[in-house]
Amino acid sequence: MANKKKNYKENLSRVGDFGKDLTRRSKAKCELCNAGKVHLTIFEVPPVPKEPTFDNCIFICDHCLNIINNIDNLKENDLRFLEGACWSETPIVKATAIVMLKIYQEKYLWIEEFLDDLYIEEEIKELIEQIKF
């Protein structure tokens, strides 16, 4: 049990080391909803690798973190902000937004239409297949 706690703390410390780079990449805004001047948290996109990587992390606000944590209990318009994130130049941000929308694509017509019109690069398709919420 002590080893698990130690590993968790080390992992948390390594993820925290990405803070400055994530701040630069995100311009200190939430990478999903683009909110500025809010508390931002480093979110490791699942599945979380044993060794944290910068390319697997996104900087998100508390509102977006709450949405991710409640992904199965959302209403139609709770996801509209993700349309902007689907155009992100950061692959993990774009892939995360698309995966979140795909969860509801059969339920809401606007999502299906949006995703049908969205060009998704091969690199992003590979990331999408790996992400598991």
* Mean pLDDT in residue range 59-79: 95
The answer on pLDDT for 9 being more than 80 is no
**What pLDDT shows up at residue 15?**
74
Backbone dihedral angles phi then psi of residue 59, each to the nearest 5 degrees: -100, 115
What digits encode the pLDDT tens for the residues 73-103?
A: 999 999 999 999 999 999 999 999 999 999 9
What digits encode the pLDDT tens for the residues 10-28?
A: 665 677 789 899 999 999 9
Q: Which CA distances in Å does 96 have to 4, 37, 46?
A: 28, 22, 9
Neighbouring CB atoms inside 10 A of 97's CB total 25
